[in-house]
Structure 1
């Protein structure tokens, strides 16, 4: 059987795209469960993601779609930055009054009298200095971003941060005076599946695709891709699949293992940088976090950059006998020092950090669990755009379309991925009559 489309990867990109396409598609997923970076796991009855992910978007069509596909809880953001033992409401510049007076005045004065304000930042660090001033940049933005990216912000471009708005002067002044203000209001409320974790949204996309007659296959190991005059032959461990068009939704590094590109393309691929991640789950009898969801920790002596309390997501994410389920995130570059540590070492370091910051007592720990994702964060180094454009252009020339975070090598949230797959599907549907 020849399909109109063969889609590599059964994550949100591949599944949503197949559900939007009119032509017959086959989705080939290597794992035994669909979801990719958006799949969920379970720990003592509590479901959790690699993230966690949330449902929000500036795109009303995508937001309406995702918030109605599955039953959700609508939640008001309560995220905090843990800075020198104090809780500072996220985003940092909207709660300067929570800082000690010296730090508060430093941030405010350097924001109001910013010598970098009229410079166009050509890298991430310059952007922060231009928009926020020296105080906010050096106290929080620079150390936190160094920690999450494991890369110097002066060597990263502005693609990740150029969408961050400059806060109004009156808001920053008010925040230093203790007047409550809100930043990033499009994220102030978000949705999350009422039960089952983000996997419920993934599964719904799979069901929708199959209801349209699409063929979603798991546990498929693709061994080779062969371009033919009328399409593609995809050889797996068990059979051969033929398709007129090939769409890649797996990490671009994995795709190129199936191709034979010229040397200059291989060297360009080698220059793409990304981070992997440890997700360390810690269940405890009690904690000191309070009614907050996410805590950002710029302290370099604490291994994790963010901690999430899943209880905040709703009753289904609470332990039946009380207590808390905490998720710590630790990014690392492949082949770096952190990459050489055992999972037990990472758990120990996370627990040490939780105790150091005062979030938990060691004797209150009930259980721990670790998940590792190789492809987690795209690093926007200074050559990112140039290198990615070269690779995607090469794939287009071979007749391969791309969709998804690591297929396009863009830092796309779930809503951004679906926005891209909707656009791609509409283009393909318009050019290819349905059977």
Structure 2
């Protein structure tokens, strides 16, 4: 078969690219290796419980994205209320200005170190550890974000650069830190004021207005790409010729698929670092297990970094009278987990029971799934290696979109825009 425009991957960026081409009366075909569309925004069901593939909430501010999501699905609006678990204490998020539950000795050390923190211009800061110490002082950094960095990013903070941070971490004044030590009545300082989630069908329901009318071919796993012949080969033995190619595949994966990828490009792609993740999904026979939409866990003897509640996002995600939780556990080539999946699942259950999140008798559904690509990790050579790969793909006429296609820290709304921009680039090329 022959197709003029081929898009690889039916996640949000691939779907967005095809949708925005369709809006300009340009047809395309999307090839997706899985049996359903949605990518990391997809979901699965177990005994009436629905779980997303990794955790999603929308706090999109772009009007075009909000219009697409609103047109796709009615939604619930949540005010962020995250908490943190640290050494047996439950602390409002962000921890740095909500330290009230901690013992006085710890609060005093944090405040004293906050006062003594080194003053540096951003341009002088060499790595994420230095950035943390400059922002929060040594004691807080060493007990909160630095251990969490090892859990979430799987690296030491000193091995990461800092451009990715942006507004993601709140930087309180000394007065805010002191106030948060004196009282639990502190203002919400989370970077998003509200978060949205579809009422029915899981997070992927936000994409339904884009999917209608698109040509999506499921169960089509790419095994080889020949750039000279403009030909794609699939695991089912079929082939496809194309004129233009948009890819949302992870950069290391597409470099493996392309025949005769230059050694420099292959080497750079292999050095791009990301985390993989285990998703532990739990269903309960009570409606009141989850107290907060999500919480973070700083203790390093607990594998889980974050825990969310699908049932609090929407009651449609659990049978009537039930509730659910999902825990995220991250690993990479720099931080491996020696336990089996069954052992990781049981460890997660045991730790959450010990944290008094639920009792064993409440648990009716348990599942563990692995995702090879979870988050892009911003080590010190990310930009250098990313540029080598993206320059090669551009030279070969491939437009790369999405979190792992651009190798950026993109949320779902930004991934949608990435697909739209990919479509715009292709349209511009075709008009030359």
Of residues 31, 41, 44, the one that matches 1:41 is 44
Residue 99 of structure 1: CA displacement? 2.2
Secondary structure, aligned partner of 2:328? strand
Cα distance in 1 for residues equivalent to 2:381 and 2:207: 33
CA 1:180–1:56 in 2, change beyond 3 Å: closer, same or farther? Answer: same
Secondary structure, aligned partner of 1:302? coil
Residues 220-239 of structure 1 aligned to structure 2 (within 5 Å): 220-228=220-228, 232-236=230-234, 237-239=236-238
Of residues 381, 387, 390, the one that matches 2:388 is 390
Q: Is the contact between residue 73 and residue 313 of structure 1 (CA under 8 Å) also seen in structure 2?
A: yes
Q: Is the contact between residue 85 and residue 357 of structure 1 (CA under 8 Å) also seen in structure 2?
A: yes
Q: How many positions carry a matched residue from both structures? A: 424
Structure 1 length-normalised TM: 0.90
Cα distance in 2 for residues equivalent to 1:183 and 1:135: 22
Secondary structure, aligned partner of 2:230? strand
Residue 162 of structure 1: CA displacement? 3.7
Q: Is the contact between residue 288 and residue 360 of structure 1 (CA under 8 Å) also seen in structure 2?
A: no
Structure 2 residue ranges without an equivalent (≥5) = none
Structure 2 length-normalised TM: 0.91
Residue 356 of structure 1: CA displacement? 2.1
Residue 105 of structure 1: CA displacement? 2.4
Residues 149-164 of structure 1 aligned to structure 2 (within 5 Å): 149-164=153-168
Cα distance in 2 for residues equivalent to 1:403 and 1:16: 10
1:180 aligns with 2:186: yes
Q: Which residue does 2:131 correspond to in 1?
A: 127
Deviation per residue, 1:269-315 (Å, 9 max, x gap)? 22112211111112234598653111110101111111112221132
Cα distance in 1 for residues equivalent to 2:356 and 2:291: 16
1:429 aligns with 2:427: yes
CA 1:408–1:266 in 2, change beyond 3 Å: closer, same or farther? Answer: same
Q: Which residue does 1:192 correspond to in 2?
A: 197
Q: Which residue does 2:298 correspond to in 1?
A: 298
CA 1:59–1:93 in 2, change beyond 3 Å: closer, same or farther? Answer: farther
Cα distance in 2 for residues equivalent to 1:278 and 1:421: 27
Cα distance in 2 for residues equivalent to 1:414 and 1:35: 11
Residue 82 of structure 1: CA displacement? 0.8
Cα distance in 2 for residues equivalent to 1:157 and 1:194: 38
Q: Which residue does 1:362 correspond to in 2?
A: 360
1:205 aligns with 2:210: yes
Could you tell which deviates more after superposition, 23-32 or 306-315? 306-315
Q: Is the contact between residue 290 and residue 323 of structure 2 (CA under 8 Å) also seen in structure 1?
A: no
Deviation per residue, 1:309-364 (Å, 9 max, x gap)? 222113212332x34211111111259541x5322111111112112222122233
CA 1:63–1:170 in 2, change beyond 3 Å: closer, same or farther? Answer: farther
Residue 253 of structure 1: CA displacement? 1.9
Cα distance in 1 for residues equivalent to 2:424 and 2:336: 45
Cα distance in 2 for residues equivalent to 1:82 and 1:289: 16
Residue 425 of structure 1: CA displacement? 2.3
Structure 1 residue ranges without an equivalent (≥5) = none
Could you tell which deviates more after superposition, 408-417 or 9-18? 408-417
Secondary structure, aligned partner of 2:383? helix
Of residues 138, 143, 146, the one that matches 2:147 is 143
Could you tell which deviates more after superposition, 112-121 or 382-391? 112-121
Residue 375 of structure 1: CA displacement? 1.0
Residues 318-397 of structure 1 aligned to structure 2 (within 5 Å): 318-320=318-320, 322-334=321-333, 337-338=336-337, 340-397=338-395
Q: Which residue does 2:103 correspond to in 1?
A: 100
Q: Is the contact between residue 288 and residue 359 of structure 1 (CA under 8 Å) also seen in structure 2?
A: no
Q: Is the contact between residue 56 and residue 63 of structure 1 (CA under 8 Å) also seen in structure 2?
A: no
Cα distance in 2 for residues equivalent to 1:245 and 1:224: 16
Q: Is the contact between residue 17 and residue 423 of structure 2 (CA under 8 Å) also seen in structure 1?
A: yes
Secondary structure, aligned partner of 1:98? coil
Q: Is the contact between residue 58 and residue 413 of structure 2 (CA under 8 Å) also seen in structure 1?
A: yes
CA 1:289–1:161 in 2, change beyond 3 Å: closer, same or farther? Answer: farther
Cα distance in 2 for residues equivalent to 1:109 and 1:343: 43
